[in-house]
Every structure is written in C-alpha cells, then in structure tokens.
Amino acid sequence: MLDGDARYAARLQAILDTTVRHLGNEAALAGIQWSNGERLVLAAGTHKAGLSLRRPEDAVIMIASQTKTLVAACILKLFRQRGLSLDARACEFVELGPIDAPVTIRQLLTCTSGLGEYDDLMFTPDYRGDVTLSPEELIKLTVLRGPSGPPGDHFEYANINFVILALVVEGISGLAFEEAARQLILKPLGLVMWFAAREELPAAQMVSGYWQSRDREPVHIAELDHSAAFATGDAACSVSTAIDFWAGLADPTNPSGISLADLAAESVQAPLRVRKPASLGVQYGYGLEFRSWAGDPVVGHPGSIHGARSGSWVDLEKGIVTTVYVTSQAQSTEDPRIAALRYPGPALYTAMLQTAYILDDLHRRGAA
C-alpha cells in the first residue's frame, strides 16, 4: 500500500459514515476494483446492520435495477445463439395480451418502446409490499397507464420493457428467468452468490433495509413481495459478486460471450423533457447507462427499490469498477423530495470514481 492509499480510503469512509449518520440511512457500502484486480471494500452502518457488515464484501444487497443489465445480456446471448434479429417483434416470442403496439426487442432493450410505466399506479403511500402480481398483470397495469409515445419515437425509462424481455428469455430458453440467467451469464462468469426474490432471499446475510407503509410496522426488504419488480429489480447478490459481475462483463473475452462493449454497441439519448425523473439526462444502451460522473465516461446502471438504492459504474478504458449500496428505513408517507436526498447518488458515484482514479494514478506513478 502506498502512503496516500489510507488517506484517500479514509476520506471515502467518512463519506459513507456521513451517509448513514447524517442522512438517516441504515447502511452504506462501497467497492472499487482496479485493472490489476486489487479491491477496496468499505462499509458503514447502524447497530442493526452491524452483523452483516463484519465482512462487507460478503454482505448481500438488493441490486434493484442493475438487474436490467443481466436481462439485456441474456437477450443478446440467446438471440446470437439462435440467429435471431433484435428488430423482431416481441409478440413473436411471448403473449403480450392487451399490448397491440408493434414493439421490437431492440426498442425494449433501449427503452424506446413507447410503453408507459406501471409503478406510479401501485407504489402509493398505502403500498404494503404484500401483494403478488404476475408479469401478465404488470402488462395490464402498463396498458392502464397509457403509452408514453409511439414505438421508436423517443427514450423513456420504464420497467415494463425488461419485464417483457425477461418473458422473452423464458419463452426462448424454456427456463424460468432466474435459471436462464444462471445458465447463460452467471455460471460462465463463475458467479454463485446471486439470488432472485421469486425463489428466496437470504435474509440472514442481507444488509438491513426496511419499508414502512402507512399505519404499519417496518418490514425488512427480504420479507417484501418483490413480484412487481420481476426481472427489473427483484434480485440480490453479495458485494463481491456485484464487482465480479461488472468486471467480468468488462472483459470482452469473458466466458459468457457477452460483454459491456456488446451492450454499449448502440445507445439513445433521452429528450430534455421527460415524464419520469429516472429518464432525465440518460444516454441508454442495451440495459446500460452512459455517464460521466467524475468527468471520464463510464457505463453501468443505478438501482432503486424500497429500502435499498445502488449504482455500479465501470470505466472501460481504465479497467476500473465501482459499486455503491445504501439501505434505509424508507417510509411511504415521507415527502419524496426528502426521501430522494437520503441517497445522494451522483455525489457518491463521483466520490467513488474520484477515489479510484486518484489511487490508480498514485499506483501508476509508484510503479514508474
């Protein structure tokens, strides 16, 4: 370790401590991996989160919408294996019920399908997290919400795109999405500590996070029904697995046959006027966002689900992977503007990447 390493790591640790202590969160975890494979994993938490943070690299966290990148990777691999076109219509592979728009696989991957979002119809102050919804029911909710525009017209972030894509994976592979994901991507990358809510989440290993609806006691995120986030936010994994996933896909020669370069082969830019906050300023590939949090271009994906928020970002040129997770006791009745401030995502991403860049530069100079 160089002399500067501990100083900059301590600064990042202080940011995590502040995120917990001053913003009222349960836990904050951050991981960095450099191109030489060296890692730094830091954590901060309340006494309730303490047990799961003794070995923060093994702590299990909800990855939320980072799941979308895995869905996209599965689609690309299946379509390559079968010689299928991304411009094929989704209805060729799965029954879309009341959706009659000619939506293509490519449009779903890039969130340009024009399909609306269903979450504002159900995630209200009275949402208790105890209702099981099938993917087909989520499609019906989307139709009730109405379209955001005609297919191919513009980008608008919407979970339903990846619900449908996961159904396409199931239809082509003949497997439940969780098992298809393991066979197509996770096992080739050597990843084991990955869990889907449709099976069972490992509550004892998970970093504490809670959801409290109106007039109800807080419920641990592992005990919530995540069916409304099928394949779009219902998965969990260890911090080390998250780093391995992104680092694995960053390698164009990885055993899965799909890389971040494949997922970044095409992108669209969100318009300046959007309907959903998650769309603002986004350049989107296939289940992948393009950002410049610390000035240099990175790719990755943020995630948000009740009681847990996250983001992983990869600098492909420098071979640096960063990942951050924050859990909280989210309350349905809290002012959304205050709730949003409890997770300063862009600031955390920037701090992570700046720390990674500084330490990378120190090591390069020390080796010179």
pLDDT of residue 368: 56
pLDDT of residue 55: 87
Query: Do 58 and 277 touch, CB atoms closer than 8 A?
Result: no
Q: Which region among 6-15, 23-32, 137-146, 306-315 has the lowest average model confidence (pLDDT)?
A: 137-146
d(CA 153, CA 147) in angstroms, rounded, equals: 11
Confidence at 1, pLDDT banded by 50, 70, 90: very low
pLDDT tens profile 260-292? 999 999 999 999 888 888 899 999 999 999 999
pLDDT of residue 130: 85
Confidence at 215, pLDDT banded by 50, 70, 90: confident
pTM of the model: 0.95
260's tokens: 């971040």
Q: Which residues contact 352 (CB under 8 A, 6 or more apart)?
A: 12, 30, 32, 313, 322, 323, 324
pLDDT of residue 31: 96
The answer to whether residue 19 scores a pLDDT higher than 90 is yes
pLDDT tens profile 232-262? 989 999 999 999 999 999 999 999 999 999 9
Confidence at 145, pLDDT banded by 50, 70, 90: confident
pLDDT tens profile 299-354? 999 999 989 999 999 999 999 999 999 999 999 889 989 998 999 999 999 999 99
204 DSSP assignment: G
Query: Do 161 and 147 touch, CB atoms closer than 8 A?
Result: no
d(CA 29, CA 301) in angstroms, rounded, equals: 16
pLDDT tens profile 95-106? 998 888 899 999
Mean pLDDT, to the nearest integer, of 19-29? 95
Confidence at 34, pLDDT banded by 50, 70, 90: very high
Backbone phi and psi for residue 366, each to the nearest 5 degrees, phi listed first: -65, -30
**Of 257, 229, 216, which is closest to residue 67 (Cα–Cα)?**
229
d(CA 60, CA 58) in angstroms, rounded, equals: 6
The answer to whether residue 2 scores a pLDDT higher than 60 is no
Confidence at 367, pLDDT banded by 50, 70, 90: low
Which residues are bridge partners to 330 per DSSP?
A: 211
At 309, the amino acid letter reads: R
Tell me what percent of the residues of the chain surpass a pLDDT of 70: 96
Query: Taking all residues of the chain, what is their mean pLDDT, rounded to a whole number?
Result: 92
The answer to whether residue 123 scores a pLDDT higher than 80 is no
The answer to whether residue 219 scores a pLDDT higher than 60 is yes
pLDDT of residue 230: 92
The answer to whether residue 28 scores a pLDDT higher than 50 is yes
Residue with token string 């991507």: 185
pLDDT of residue 213: 87
pLDDT tens profile 58-117? 999 999 999 999 999 999 999 999 999 999 999 999 999 888 889 999 999 999 999 988
Q: Structural domains in the chain?
A: 3-367 (3.40.710.10)
Strands (E), the chain: 25-33, 39-45, 60-62, 194-196, 210-212, 219-220, 235-238, 268-269, 283-284, 289-291, 298-305, 308-315, 320-331
At 206, the amino acid letter reads: M
d(CA 131, CA 133) in angstroms, rounded, equals: 6
